[in-house]
Amino acid sequence: MKKTYIAIAVLVACALLLAGYFLFIKKDKTETLVTTNTEKENTVKKPEPILVTEQASSTYAEMLLSYPKSDSKSYSEVWNEVKRVRDEFWGEYGNLTDADAEAQYIRKDSIYQMFINTDIKSSEVTTTYVMKIYQYTGGAHGGTGVVTYTYDKNKKLVTIEDVLGSNYISVVAPMSRQYFYEKFGNEVQKEMVDFGTEPVKDNFSSWYLTDDSVV
């Protein structure tokens, strides 16, 4: 009888030990999972400054700008670009007298304009601000230029050379040209395509990253 009690006690002790072991393992796995997810969130954290709006108008010119909040130290590349185009446009057209406007054939019913709109493109490790800068300064219609600024999670500027290497243009230019030849087929305007795909940096300066490609 005594042996029976001893055997039962041993079995109960073993059961308690096993239960404690599995509870410990489950808790440990849960804690590990939470830690892993937190590390992943920290890894993919991206800078996303808010977009600010700036507006100005005068008799012969108007501006409406939407761009990432920035200054001379934070996202300075964005700040310098906005300051440059804003100061150039407003400095030339923002305070025209009637006589100045008449000399430049600027009418009150066809004032000069500048707009900046910003799109945000993201990958797991970068955020790109795609700034579309439209200007109308006379003629039949205005024109739009595109500039992009890509930053990593530490707010450091990422260049296309960082992604594709210093020799990227010699690879990308012929690929782009062939792409447009095939895309437009018999309707292709070769002179325009050739000009736009010349292996010069300006032709490939606007870009952004997705999780699996360069656009």
Residue positions counted in the chain: 215
Give the per-residue pLDDT at 45.
53
Number of C-beta neighbours around residue 129 at 10 A = 25
Does the predicted model carry a pTM greater than 0.75? no
Query: Measured between alpha carbons, how far is 56 from 161 in angstroms, rounded to an integer?
Result: 37
Tens digit of each residue's pLDDT (9 = 90 or more) over 152-176: 999 999 999 999 999 999 999 999 9
Q: Interior CA angle at 69 toward 46 and 76, to 5°? A: 85
| Joined tokens for residue 12 | 């109960």
The SS3 of residue 127 is strand
Tens digit of each residue's pLDDT (9 = 90 or more) over 35-86: 334 344 444 455 556 899 999 999 999 999 999 999 999 999 999 999 999 9
Q: Parallel, antiparallel, or unpaired for β 143-152 and 51-57?
A: unpaired
